[in-house]
C-alpha cells in the first residue's frame, strides 16, 4: 500500500476503509445505543470546534475520533428503527456500498458522454420502476435530488406549456399576461408553494381548494375555483394533487381531478413522493389510479424505497416541455452524440451525481417481492398501532391511515388549546427519552401526533416501545 500511496501522491486514506466499514457495521448492528433525536443543545458542536481550518494535515485517526466524539452525538438518527417522525426512511446496507462507489467514480452525469452508464442506467432503472408502478410507456423518468426540485421542474414545465413564451419573454412588464394560478390544498407539501413563489406565480395566486373530512381535495370545489378564475381572466397553470400528503397521507381523488384538468386544459401534477413507491404492491396500486392522465408525477425512492437521501424521480408525459423550459447548451458543453439523452437539458441543475446506481443496487439486491413485503409489513404495523390507540381510553386516531402513518392524540378532555399543549408536551417527553422520535402536525387547527413507519428495520417491538413511551408520558404529564 505504501508504494501505491507514494506512486500516486496519495495519503493512503483508503487503508482506513476497514475502520469506517467496522463503524458502519456496528452502527447498523446496534442502533439502540443512540438517542434517536440528538440531545445536542444549540451551539454544542460549534463551541467544540476550532475557529480555523488546520494549517497542517491531521492523521485520519484523529479526524475519525472527532467524528465519533463530536459529530455522532449531534446526529438525529434518521436511519434508526425508532425514527417515526416526518416520513421515516432507510439506507439499505447495499446502498451504502453504492454511495461509496459513486463517490469514488465521482462522475458528473450532465451529458451522455460524461458517463454513458450513468445516463442509461437512469433510463433503465426508471423504466423498471415505471413498469412496476403500472404507468404508461409514454412517461419519461428523470432523477433529481429532492421532491422540491422535481415539483419545481414540473411547475416550470407547466408554465412553459401555457404558450406564453415565458422562456424568452419572462413574466414581468407584460401587460398582456393575466395572473397565473396554481391549485392545491392546505395539505399539499410546502415545496409546491415554494416553487410557485420561485416561478413568479406569487402566493396570492396559489389557490387553496377546500378538503373533505378525510383531508382530500374536493373536486367540485376545484372546478368552481377554476371556473371563477377563468371568469376573472386569470390563467390556470397547474393543479397539484397529492397521493399521500405529509400530515396524514390523505390522497386527493386523482381520477376526478384529472377529468377537471382535462376539461379545462390545465397541467396536472401529482405529488406521490412518499406513497408512490407503495403502488408497486398490487393491493396498493389504487394509489395511482388516474395518474396515467397526469402530466407529471413525483415519487421519492429516498423516502420509502430504502435508498439514502437524495434521490427523487419525476415522470413526465412530455419531456420536451421540460427541455423547453430549461435547455441551454453552451459552446463548452456541445457534444457530438445524437439520439442520446443529455440529462442536463432537463433541469435547473447542470451538475448531476450518479444517483441511479444505488437504486439499481437495492432493486436487484432485494427484488420486487421482498420490497412489496416490506410495504405490506409497514402498513400492517401502522394499522396495528392505530388499533392500540383506538382501544386505549383517552386516546384517539384523528385521521384515516391508509398507509404507514397514523395521526392520533391524547384527549383527556378540556379545552382544545390546553389539549394541544398537553400533546406537545407528550411528544417532547417521548423524544427527550432518546428511545423514539415522533413529530407533530396540525389538523383542523389542532395538534395531532404522528407515528410514521418507513424504516426497513422497524419491528413490532419498536412500535410497541413508542406506544409505551407515549402512554407513560401522558400518564405523568
Residues 409-438 that bind a copy of itself (CB under 8 A): 428
Which of 256/427 has CB closer to a copy of itself? 427
Helix 147-160 and helix 190-198, axial crossing angle in degrees, nearest 10: 50
From 154, 195, 257, 261, residue interacting with a copy of itself (rule: CB under 8 A): 195
Helix 116-133 and helix 356-391, axial crossing angle in degrees, nearest 10: 30
For 393-418, b/e burial (b = at least 16 CB within 10 A) is eebebbbbbbbbbbbbbbbeeeeeee
Least distance (Å) between residue 256 CB and a copy of itself: 25
Which of 369/391 has CB closer to a copy of itself? 369
Least distance (Å) between residue 259 CB and a copy of itself: 27
Site string for a copy of itself, 256-295 (x = CB under 8 A): ----------------------------------------
From 6, 65, 69, 113, residue interacting with a copy of itself (rule: CB under 8 A): 113
From 82, 140, 269, 302, residue interacting with a copy of itself (rule: CB under 8 A): 302
User: Is 231 near a copy of itself (CB under 8 A)?
Assistant: no
From 69, 131, 224, 262, residue interacting with a copy of itself (rule: CB under 8 A): 131
User: Is 167 near a copy of itself (CB under 8 A)?
Assistant: yes
Interacting residues of 144 by C-beta distance below 8 A, sequence separation 6+? 150, 153, 312, 313, 314, 347, 349
Four-point Cα dihedral 9, 14, 16, 18, nearest 10? -160
CA dihedral sign, ordered 168, 193, 268, 136: positive
Least distance (Å) between residue 223 CB and a copy of itself: 22
Residues 77 and 60: their CA atoms lie apart, in Å, by 24
Which of 191/258 has CB closer to a copy of itself? 191
Strand order through the sheet with 446-452: 83-84, 437-443, 446-452, 405-410, 395-397
From 86, 274, 315, 346, residue interacting with a copy of itself (rule: CB under 8 A): 86
Least distance (Å) between residue 212 CB and a copy of itself: 19
User: Cis (ω within 30 of 0) for the bond into 310?
Assistant: yes
Q: For residue 454, how many C-alpha atoms fall within 13 Å in the half-sphere facing its CB?
A: 33
Query: Which residues in 328-367 contact a copy of itself (CB under 8 A)?
Result: 328-334, 336-337, 339-340, 348-353, 357-358, 361, 363-367
From 434, 457, 472, 477, residue interacting with a copy of itself (rule: CB under 8 A): 457
Query: Which residues in 5-34 contact a copy of itself (CB under 8 A)?
Result: 7-18, 20-21, 23-25, 27-29
Helix 416-432 and helix 460-476, axial crossing angle in degrees, nearest 10: 130
- Classify residue 94 by its DSSP letter: H
Bridge partners, 240 (sequence order): 269
Site string for a copy of itself, 32-71 (x = CB under 8 A): -----xx-x-xxxxx--x-xxxxxxxx-x-xx---x--xx
Amino acid at each position: 500500500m505504501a508504494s501505491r500511496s507514494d506512486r500516486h501522491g496519495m495519503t493512503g486514506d483508503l487503508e482506513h476503509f476497514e475502520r469506517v466499514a467496522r463503524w458502519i457495521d456496528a452502527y447498523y448492528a446496534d442502533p439502540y445505543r443512540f438517542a434517536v433525536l440528538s440531545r445536542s443543545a444549540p451551539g454544542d458542536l460549534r463551541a467544540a470546534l476550532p475557529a480555523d481550518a488546520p494549517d497542517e494535515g491531521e492523521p485520519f485517526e484523529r479526524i475519525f475520533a472527532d467524528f465519533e466524539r463530536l459529530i455522532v452525538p449531534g446526529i438525529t438518527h434518521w436511519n434508526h428503527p425508532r425514527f417515526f417522525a416526518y416520513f421515516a426512511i432507510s439506507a439499505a446496507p447495499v446502498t451504502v456500498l453504492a454511495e461509496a462507489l459513486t463517490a469514488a467514480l465521482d462522475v458528473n452525469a450532465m451529458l451522455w458522454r460524461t458517463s454513458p452508464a450513468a445516463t442509461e442506467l437512469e433510463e433503465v432503472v426508471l423504466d423498471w420502476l415505471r413498469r412496476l408502478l403500472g404507468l404508461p410507456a409514454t412517461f419519461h423518468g428523470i432523477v433529481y435530488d429532492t421532491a422540491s426540485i422535481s415539483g419545481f421542474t414540473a411547475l416550470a414545465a407547466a408554465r412553459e406549456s401555457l404558450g406564453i413564451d415565458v422562456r424568452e419573454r419572462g413574466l414581468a412588464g407584460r401587460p398582456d399576461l393575466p395572473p397565473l394560478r396554481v391549485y392545491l390544498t392546505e395539505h399539499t407539501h410546502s415545496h409546491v408553494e415554494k416553487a410557485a413563489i420561485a416561478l413568479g406565480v406569487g402566493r396570492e395566486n396559489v389557490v387553496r381548494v377546500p378538503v373533505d373530512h378525510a383531508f382530500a381535495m374536493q373536486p367540485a370545489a376545484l372546478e368552481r375555483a377554476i371556473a371563477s378564475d377563468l371568469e376573472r381572466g386569470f390563467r390556470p397553470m397547474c393543479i397539484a394533487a397529492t397521493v399521500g400528503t405529509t400530515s396524514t397521507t390523505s390522497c386527493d381523488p386523482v381520477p376526478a381531478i384529472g377529468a377537471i384538468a382535462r376539461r379545462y386544459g390545465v397541467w396536472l401534477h401529482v405529488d406521490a413522493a412518499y406513497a408512490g413507491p407503495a403502488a408497486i404492491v398490487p393491493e396498493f396500486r389504487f394509489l395511482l389510479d388516474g395518474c396515467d392522465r397526469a402530466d407529471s408525477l413525483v415519487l421519492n425512492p429516498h423516502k420509502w424505497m430504502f435508498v439514502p437521501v437524495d434521490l427523487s424521480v419525476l415522470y413526465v408525459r412530455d419531456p420536451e416541455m421540460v427541455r423547453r423550459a430549461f435547455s441551454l447548451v453552451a459552446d463548452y458543453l456541445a457534444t457530438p452524440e445524437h439520439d442520446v439523452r443529455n440529462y442536463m437539458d432537463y433541469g435547473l441543475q447542470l451538475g448531476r451525481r450518479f444517483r441511479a446506481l444505488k437504486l439499481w443496487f437495492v432493486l436487484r439486491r432485494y427484488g420486487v417481492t421482498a420490497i412489496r413485503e416490506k410495504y405490506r409489513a409497514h402498513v400492517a404495523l401502522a394499522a396495528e398501532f392505530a388499533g392500540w390507540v383506538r382501544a386505549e381510553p383517552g386516546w384517539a386516531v384523528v385521521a384515516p391511515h391508509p398507509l404507514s402513518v397514523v395521526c392520533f392524540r391524547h384527549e383527556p378532555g378540556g379545552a382544545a388549546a390546553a389539549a394541544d399543549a398537553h400533546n406537545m408536551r407528550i411528544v417532547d417527553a417521548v423524544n427527550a427519552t432518546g428511545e423514539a422520535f415522533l413529530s407533530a402536525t396540525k389538523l383542523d387547527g389542532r395538534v395531532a401526533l404522528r407515528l410514521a413507519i418507513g424504516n426497513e428495520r422497524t419491528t413490532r417491538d419498536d412500535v410497541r416501545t413508542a406506544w409505551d413511551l407515549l402512554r407513560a408520558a401522558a400518564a405523568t404529564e
